[in-house]
Amino acid sequence: MKIVSAKKILAGNDKIARENLEFFEKEGVFVLNILGSPGAGKTSLLEALLPRLRESMPVAVIEGDLATSQDAERVAALDVPVVQVNTEGACHLDAAMVSSAAEALDLPRGGILFIENVGNLVCPAGFRLGEHLRLVVLSVTEGDDKVAKYPPMFQKTQAVALNKVDLAGALEFDEEKVRKDLERLLPGGRFFRVSARTGLGLEEVETWLREERACRFEETSG
């Protein structure tokens, strides 16, 4: 009987992810991997951010879902280049899928490529895609215990956006608890309070993205 260890599969994925990152760097593309539960508001956040960002830089999106092209259609409605990956059952994107999708995409050279991962708070955490940074979208409707209960997702990101804060008043959501759990799991990580619906907090996310891109791709003069 042949047994393939998960470690070997992850090592294979990491190798392709490194190649993806090299390719994106060569092409001048800053890449953000967006993760979070189904329905957290990943696509809604993109719909709110893309029109703001593309005023000054090219943007593009890779959408990951088990089935349908519904999220890609939402992005395409904004006239933003987009490729939908259907994982046909897989609960996360992997680096090879991103490599194929990038080949099919009009690359946003000098701008930002967003990758919306499959909605899932577990599986996508272990699979690097070739991204520069990760952003986990957590919504108040999921409950304030999710950071503590799903640690890998929150340990392997650089930033968390707490979304749907416009609904917080209708829920018993303890934001202090979430902040404390994050300080423990992700010390020094960025935290944004946002509402994709009202636009609250989006300016901070936009500024963060611009700065993170600039510090990697824009040479400092003087």
Ligand X SMILES: Nc1nc2c(ncn2[C@@H]2O[C@H](COP(=O)(O)OP(=O)(O)OP(=O)(O)O)[C@@H](O)[C@H]2O)c(=O)[nH]1
- Considering only the stretches 4-12, 37-45, 76-84, 179-187, report the one whose residues sit in contact with ligand X under the rule CB under 6 A: 37-45
Closest CA to 136 of 149, 117, 113: 117
Name which of residues 101 to 120 contact ligand X (CB under 6 A): 119
Is residue 51 part of the contact set for ligand X (CB under 6 A)? no
39 contact choice in Mg ion, ligand X, none (CB below 5 to 8 Å, kind-dependent): ligand X
Report the nearest approach of ligand X to the CB of residue 169 (Å). 11
One residue of 13, 20, 43, 195 binding Mg ion per CB under 5 A: 43
- Considering only the stretches 36-44, 79-87, 131-139, 201-209, report the one whose residues sit in contact with Mg ion under the rule CB under 5 A: 36-44
CB-side neighbour CA atoms (13 Å) of 152: 9
Helices 6-27 and 95-103, axial angle in degrees (round to 10): 30
> What does the block give as tokens for 20?
């993806």
Residue 23 · residue 176 · CB < 8 Å: no
Name which of residues 150 to 189 contact ligand X (CB under 6 A): 163-164, 166-167
Lay out the site mask for Mg ion across 70-89 (x = CB under 5 A, - = otherwise): -x------------------
Residue 50 · residue 63 · CB < 8 Å: no
Residue 159 · residue 135 · CB < 8 Å: yes
Burial class (CB in 10 A: 0-12, 13-18, 19+), 105: middle
Q: Pick between residue 71 and residue 144 the one whose CB is nearest to Mg ion.
A: 71
Q: How far apart are CA 82 and CA 60, in angstroms?
A: 6
One residue of 29, 41, 85, 201 binding ligand X per CB under 6 A: 41
Tokens 């190798």 correspond to what residue? 15
Residue 152 · residue 125 · CB < 8 Å: yes
Q: Closest residue to ligand X, Cβ-based?
A: 119
Chain positions contacting ligand X, by CB under 6 A: 36, 38-44, 71, 119, 163-164, 166-167, 195-197
Chain positions contacting Mg ion, by CB under 5 A: 42-43, 71
